[in-house]
Amino acid sequence: MDNFLAARSQMALSLGFHIIFSCIGMVMPFFMAVAHYYYLKTDKIVYKNVTKAWSKGVAIFFATGAVSGTVLSFELGLLWPKFMEHAGPIFGMPFSLEGTAFFIEAIALGFFLYGWDRFNKWFHWFTGVIVGVSGLASGILVVAANAWMNSPAGFDFVDGQYINVDPIKAMFNKAWFSQSLHMSLAAFAATGFAVAGVHALMIIRRQNVYFHTKSFTIAAVFGCVAAVLQPLSGDISAKDVAKRQPAKLAAMEAHFFTEKSAGLVIGGIPDPKNKKVDYGIKIPGLLSFMAHGDFSSEVTGLDKFPEKNQPPVPVTHYAFQIMVGLGMAMMAVSFLYFFALWKKKTWLQSDWLLKLFVAATPLGFLAVEAGWTVTEVGRQPWIIYNVMRTADAVTPMPGIGYSFYMFTLMYFSLAAIVIFMLYRQIKMVPKLYDLPEGAQK
């Protein structure tokens, strides 16, 4: 396997794996905090059971997220030493703060998981909230680092030298806000739908309905609120990308030629050789509106960039279509759910709505992976946009292919074990948690 391709694949694999665990690690503590709060307020044992059942799952995900994150912090250097040599001191600020956030998260998690009946109950609850808040903070910080790669700031690049470095400015680069907002919402949407889907399935099977209904409601409300906000934040992101990375926007939209009143292409198969899109639906003027808020404005096409600076169009375009499509689907499900909550309580008991949620279980995570593909592949051929090429950053060590195979094997076995363990966890719910109200202490 070609060294460069292997390094890119290994990076993509590791990040794609880590993001799932980190989303869950960021969001589940909030779900638990809500369940825990209801328990402390109402004294209903079911809420305690929900909290405990979730916290077991989270411990598994947290450990996997922590080790895969540790791997990433070495991998950046193992695979992209030239990048880290120059970028490390510039975009390192969020990472140093993130270290603090992780530490607090790990400490708070120790208190939370092992603290049942040991501390004042509100202190114990509060440690759970801290786990969530610091997890979210670390997510925002890493995304700010990634945003710097898309929108480099805080230094001057003169004659191949990086001078006048200002790590604070680098952290608050132009992309950090739109990306962090979109990512945080994505984490809530993806985790909310995934958790709600699993519990919906158990309700349909009529197993431990009481327990699973409570769990379902908490997860679904979080997920649906985020899913409704997600397209709004996506619109902010798109306008942002149009300004700072026009080549990425053009690739996302398979927009080959610069034009006024540009049309939005939905679906279709981009043909980069002949610079056209086959079978797509084109809505006139909409791309101009999405990118600049004005139906007649000009949208830069790929023709403005030399061939060697153009990102791969098909992958970026497909990934973008997938993300937006899934986002719309999730938004539709969310509106239905809110409508049911508001007007049609009977729908909440009906299997078809639950089945819809079961079908939507993986959608959020698929959208997350697709979204990252847009961001990362759309930045190519640059590792630091307009400053350093990815190909110039790769490690000189040959044989990265073997390392890629090894990590692939490792991650796939881990994923298999985690799924297997989760399955067992759910199977054990009746034994552990479904005693009738009052039968437990």
Partner 1 sequence: MLYVVIIYLWTSILLYLLLGGADFGAGIIELFTSKANKIQTRKTLYEAIGPIWEANHMWLIIAIVILFVGFPVIYSTMSVYLHIPLTIMLLGIIARGTAFTFRHYDAVKDDMQDLYNPIFAYSSFVTPFFLGIIAGSAVSGHIDLKADNFLDAYIFSWLHWFSVSVGLFTVAICGFLAAVFLIGETDNEHDRLRFIRKAKAFNIAAVICGSLVFVSSLIEDIPLIDWVFGNIVGIIAITAATLSLAVLWYLMYKGKANILRILAGFQVTMILLTTTYRHYPNIVILKNGGYLSLIEHSGHEKTIEALAMALLIGSIFILPALFYLIYSFQKKKVDYATD
Q: Which residues bind ligand HDD (CB under 6 A)?
A: 143, 150, 175, 179, 182-183, 186, 189-190, 230-231, 234-235, 237-238, 241, 323-324, 326-328, 330, 364, 367-368, 371-372, 374-375
If binding means CB under 6 A, how many residues of this protein chain bind ligand HEM?
Answer: 41
In angstroms, give the least distance from the CB of 378 to ligand HDD.
6
Long-range contact list for 335-338, CB < 8 A, 24+ apart? 335/228, 337/220, 337/224, 338/224, 338/228
Interacting residues of 119 by C-beta distance below 8 A, sequence separation 6+: 111, 127
The option from partner 1, ligand HEM, ligand HDD, none interacting with 383 (CB < 5 to 8 A, set by class) reads ligand HEM
Tokens of 303: 């023709």
The option from partner 1, ligand HDD, ligand HEM, none interacting with 167 (CB < 5 to 8 A, set by class) reads partner 1
Other CB atoms within a 10 A radius of the CB of residue 419 amount to 10
Q: Does 88 bind partner 1 (CB under 8 A)?
A: yes
Q: Which of residues 32-71 bind partner 1 (CB under 8 A)?
A: 56, 59-60, 62-64, 66-71
Tokens of 168: 């604070």
Tokens of 338: 């809110």
The option from ligand HDD, ligand HEM, partner 1, none interacting with 108 (CB < 5 to 8 A, set by class) reads partner 1
Piece in contact with ligand HEM (CB under 6 A), picked from 11-19, 260-268, 298-306, 318-326: 11-19
What is the C-alpha to C-alpha distance for residues 438 and 38, in angstroms, rounded to an integer?
16
Name the amino acid, one letter, at 360.
Answer: A
Tell me the CA end-to-end span of the chain in Å, nearest whole number: 59
What is the C-alpha to C-alpha distance for residues 173 and 396, in angstroms, rounded to an integer?
30
Which one of residues 40, 72, 336, 366 is an interface residue with ligand HEM (CB under 6 A)? 72
Piece in contact with partner 1 (CB under 8 A), picked from 90-98, 188-196, 315-323, 361-369: 90-98
Percent of the chain as helix, strand, coil, to the nearest 5: 75, 5, 20
Q: Name the packing angle between helices 3-42 and 209-244 (round to 10°).
A: 130
Query: Do 213 and 203 form a contact (C-beta atoms < 8 A)?
Result: yes
Which one of residues 398, 436, 437, 439 is an interface residue with partner 1 (CB under 8 A)? 398
DSSP 8-state assignment for residue 271: E
Q: Does 160 bind partner 1 (CB under 8 A)?
A: no
By beta-carbon proximity to partner 1, the closer residue of 70 and 440 is: 70
Q: Does 76 bind ligand HEM (CB under 6 A)?
A: yes
CA distances 338 to 221, 334, 343, Å, are 8, 6, 8
| Peptide bond just before 362 cis, omega within 30 deg | no
- Positions in the binding site for ligand HEM (CB under 6 A): 8, 11-12, 15-16, 18-19, 21-22, 25-26, 61-62, 65-66, 69-70, 72-73, 76, 80, 83, 102, 105-106, 135, 138-139, 142-143, 145-146, 183, 372-373, 376-377, 379-380, 383, 390
The binding site for partner 1 (CB under 8 A) comprises 56, 59-60, 62-64, 66-71, 73-78, 81-82, 84-86, 88-90, 92-93, 95-100, 102-104, 106-111, 113-114, 118-119, 162, 165-168, 395-399, 403, 406-407, 410, 414, 417, 421, 424-425, 427-428, 432
